[in-house]
Amino acid sequence: MIRSTATSHDLARGHRVAAWSSALFSAALVGAWLAASAAEARPPSPAPAAGDVETRAKLLVEAVRKNDPKKAHPFFFPGGDFAEVKAIKDPAKYFDYLIRVYDKDVLTIREKLDSPDTVEFVRFELGRGRNWVPNFKEANKVPYYATYKSRLVVKDAGKEKTFFVRVMISWKGQWYCTHLLRKSLNERI
């Protein structure tokens, strides 16, 4: 029979050392996470430029003119990247919902025009404020810039009309729409 020479004092000290080591390791992990979070919380300067958003806004107007919302999809946030941004259970399902709302908004713009078949693009003005959205602020895994109330100006029956694009976010150096006129199908405009 083998006898242990460890006393209860030695065992307690061993447990304290193990607990202390575990606490130090946990603190190191938390510290690393906080440092990474703090770095993500600081926005890069300057905010991204408009990039090719005007070219894609022209596709939005073409989609309105041709009564074909799918032609406007390049103006909307890319579906393949959506799961990288959103920290939600089923990002693909939410993306499908958002694109349905967007398609309905494209058709709503058409309904609000006097001569939708001849509408012309005039200009697109990205919203003035560029707001840094830190991770987890809007169910997002990663931070990004957002801007609100960008202006889509069109010529309808010889007169300029303005439509406000509700939300645009910057992703991989480009600006994309995430909410055109409304945030949900139930919202009245």
Task: List 10's β-bridge partners, or say none.
Answer: none
Cα 67 off chain centre by: 27
Among the residues of the chain, which ranges form H helices? 8-41, 53-66, 79-85, 91-111
At 143, the amino acid letter reads P
Q: Is the pLDDT of residue 133 over 70?
A: yes
Residue 184: what pLDDT? Answer: 76
**pLDDT tens column, 30-78:** 344 444 444 456 676 667 777 899 999 999 999 999 999 999 999 999 9
pLDDT at site 114: 98
Average pLDDT of span 182-186: 78
11: pLDDT strictly greater than 60: no
Predicted pLDDT at 111: 97
- Residue of 63, 132, 143, 138 lying closest to 102 (CA atoms): 63
Rounded Cα–Cα distance for residues 38 and 124 (Å): 34
Average pLDDT of the chain, as a whole number: 83
What is the model's pLDDT at position 157? 97
The answer to whether residue 18 scores a pLDDT higher than 60 is no
Does 9 score more than 80 pLDDT?
no
The fraction of the chain above a pLDDT of 90, given in percent, is 63
pLDDT at 15 over 80: no
Instruction: Please calculate the CA angle 176-179-184 and round it to the nearest 5 degrees.
Output: 155
Per-residue pLDDT, averaged over 5-16, amounts to 56
Residue 28 has pLDDT above 50, yes or no: no
Which of 186, 163, 185, 167 has the alpha carbon at shortest distance from 176?
A: 167
Q: Is the pLDDT of residue 23 over 90?
A: no
pTM of the model: 0.75
The secondary structure of 51-99 as a DSSP string is TTHHHHHHHHHHHHHHT-GGGGGGGBPPHHHHHHHB-SS-HHHHHHHHH
| Measured distance CA(20)–CA(28) in Å, rounded | 12
Calpha distance 64→152 (Å, rounded): 12
Mean pLDDT score, 105-120: 97
Q: Omega of the bond prior to 48 within 30 degrees of 0, cis?
A: no
Higher pLDDT, 17 or 145: 145
